[in-house]
Copies of this chain bind each other. A is one copy, B any other.
Amino acid sequence: MLSPVFLHRPRCRNTGETIRVRARGTVGGVTSLVNHQIVLRRRPDGLLDPKDVEQVAVPAPELSDGEALVRNTFVGVDAAVRTWLDDRPGYLPPVGIGEPIRAAGVGEVVASRCDAYEVGDVVTTLSGFQEYVVVRDDVFTTVIPGVVDQLAMLSVYGSTGATAYFGMTDIGRPQEGETVVVSAAAGATGSLAGQIAKIAGARVVGIAGGAEKCRVVVEEFGFDACIDHRGDDLAAALREHCPKRVDVYFDNVGGPILDAVLGRLNQGGRVALCGIISSYLTGDHPGPANYVQLLARCGTMQGFNTLHNWDRFPEAFDALKRWEAEGRLVHREHVYDGLGFAVDALNGLFTGANIGKTVVKVSDPTT
Contact = CB atoms under 8 A, between A and B. Distances in A.
Interface of A: 91, 254, 259, 273-276, 279, 285-305, 308
A291 B303 CA distance: 9
B300 A301 contact: yes
Contact of A285 (B285, B289, B301): B289
Contacts of A295: 273-276, 303-305
Contacts of A287: 259, 286-291
Give the residue among A259, A297, A301 with the most B Cβ atoms within 10 A. Answer: A301
21 contacts: A91-B296, A254-B292, A273-B294, A279-B292, A285-B289, A285-B290, A285-B291, A285-B292, A286-B287, A287-B287, A293-B303, A294-B302, A294-B303, A295-B303, A295-B305, A298-B304, A298-B305, A299-B303, A300-B301, A300-B302, A301-B302
B301 A294 contact: yes
Number of copies: 2
Contacts of A305: 295, 298
Contact of A302 (B254, B274, B286, B299): B299
A238 to B, nearest CB: 18
A239 to B, nearest CB: 16
A289 B286 contact: yes
Contact of A291 (B291, B292, B296): B291
Contacts of A254: 292
B300 A308 contact: no
Contacts of A273: 291, 294-295
Contacts of A292: 254, 276, 279, 285
A189 to B, nearest CB: 13
A279 to B, nearest CB: 8
A272 to B, nearest CB: 10
B308 A303 contact: no
Nearest to A284: B289
A274 B300 CA distance: 13
A297 B279 CA distance: 17
A289 B279 CA distance: 11
Given A287-B289, A298-B308, 15 more contacts: A91-B296, A254-B292, A276-B292, A285-B291, A287-B288, A287-B291, A288-B288, A288-B291, A291-B301, A294-B302, A295-B305, A298-B302, A298-B304, A299-B302, A300-B300
B304 A301 contact: no
Contacts of A279: 292
Contacts of A299: 302-303
Give the residue among A91, A279, A294 with the most B Cβ atoms within 10 A. Answer: A294
